[in-house]
Amino acid sequence: MTGRRPVDIGVAVLARVAIWLIILASLLPIYWMVTTSFKNPDAALQIPPNVIGFSPTLDNYVQLLGGATTARGFGRLLLNSIIVAVASTGLALALGLPAAYALARVRFRGKRQLAMWILSTTMFPPIVAVIPVFLIAGNAGFIDTYPVLIVPYTAFNLPLVIWMLRSAIRQIPAEIEESALVDGSSRLGILRTMVLPLAAPGIAAAAVLSVFLSWNEFLFALTLTRSAARTAPVGINEFTTMFGTEWGNLSAGATLVVAPILVLALLLGRRLVSGLTFGAVK
């Protein structure tokens, strides 16, 4: 716009310093978690903090995943989390894709209202859903099984998946499908052969977000599982009582729980934010 005055340069420098201080401060808890997982118990609790100059050890991970001290295998908890997150994501995509296609392409009355209703179900407080699910699943003998988590997680992820896929499908030119429709192809056939490949990037983003939500869920997993289907976020919370303040093991577990999601978040970048706003913010 105009030539840079010294004041502008001063403001720019201050802004840079401020934002990087905020970023570094906000990364500190993550740094603590990862480094503590590679420290021996004494170094973990050292004050003043041993921020960089510690000799790293894998002991915490060895103990956690195979050592004698683990009463409950942490590997099993991670496996349960993976099974539940992947299954609920697969189901949410299988149910969400046809629904999103209908909302994006098929003309029918009340479509807008239906889309808004689907969106509004995300506002439903989980604590209100968990009590009936607990009672009914308890009577039916489903407590501590995978389905008792997979079905609710599918429902939680569906609105996000449907809205993200709807906007992904809308970006595909409709003419391609219309000509196929005129040629006599069925809606499901078009969905499979044309929409699916073209919407693949959108589907991938929706899948990642769905995994993200299922992986982090706590209330249902805490209430509806005991041991066989226990997921990692609940299991790691029980660690504190099991080991007292054994922060080495705990932070190793925490790092293992967080690592896959952290990698996905770095890959998705700001599409993570866009997805969590249901595509309202690009």
Interaction with other proteins in 89-128: which residues (CB under 8 A)?
95-96, 98-99, 101-103, 106-109, 112, 114-116, 118-119, 121-128
Give the range of 32-40, 58-66, 141-149, 196-204 binding other proteins by CB under 8 A: 32-40
Distance CA 39, CA 43 (A): 6
Q: Is 193 one of the binding residues for other proteins (CB under 8 A)?
A: no
Q: Is 175 one of the binding residues for other proteins (CB under 8 A)?
A: no
Q: How far is the CB of 243 from other proteins (least distance, A)?
A: 12
Q: How far is the CB of 6 from other proteins (least distance, A)?
A: 15
Q: Is 194 one of the binding residues for other proteins (CB under 8 A)?
A: no
Q: Which of 3, 6, 48, 53 binds other proteins (CB under 8 A)?
A: 48
> 53 or 125: whose CB is closer to other proteins?
125
> 68 or 268: whose CB is closer to other proteins?
268
Q: Is 22 one of the binding residues for other proteins (CB under 8 A)?
A: yes
Q: Is 23 one of the binding residues for other proteins (CB under 8 A)?
A: yes
- Contacts with other proteins in 51-70 (CB under 8 A)? none
Helices (H), the chain: 6-37, 41-44, 59-66, 74-105, 111-120, 126-140, 147-170, 174-182, 187-190, 196-198, 200-216, 219-224, 232-243, 247-268, 270-276
Q: Total residues at the site for other proteins (CB under 8 A)? A: 105
3-state per-residue secondary structure call for 194-261: HHHHHCHHHHHHHHHHHHHHHHHCCHHHHHHCCCCCCCHHHHHHHHHHHHCCCHHHHHHHHHHHHHHH
CA dist list (Å): 242 to 33, 70, 81, 236, 245: 19, 9, 20, 10, 9
CA dist list (Å): 20 to 13, 35, 49: 11, 21, 22
> Which helix (H) or strand (E) segment is 121 a member of?
none
> 68 or 226: whose CB is closer to other proteins?
226
> 173 or 269: whose CB is closer to other proteins?
269
Q: How far is the CB of 73 from other proteins (least distance, A)?
A: 18
- Contacts with other proteins in 209-228 (CB under 8 A)? 212, 215-216, 218-219, 222-223
- CB contact at 8 A, 50 and 39: yes
> 63 or 157: whose CB is closer to other proteins?
157
Residues 6 or more apart whose CB falls under 8 angstroms from that of 135 comprise none
Closest C-alpha to 142, from 29, 197, 257, 224 = 224
Closest C-alpha to 133, from 119, 117, 121, 149 = 149
Q: Which of 26, 175, 226, 244 binds other proteins (CB under 8 A)?
A: 26
Q: How far is the CB of 69 from other proteins (least distance, A)?
A: 18
- Contacts with other proteins in 140-169 (CB under 8 A)? 151-152, 154-156, 158-159, 162
> 63 or 275: whose CB is closer to other proteins?
275
Q: Which of 61, 233, 249, 252 binds other proteins (CB under 8 A)?
A: 233
Distance CA 146, CA 224 (A): 10
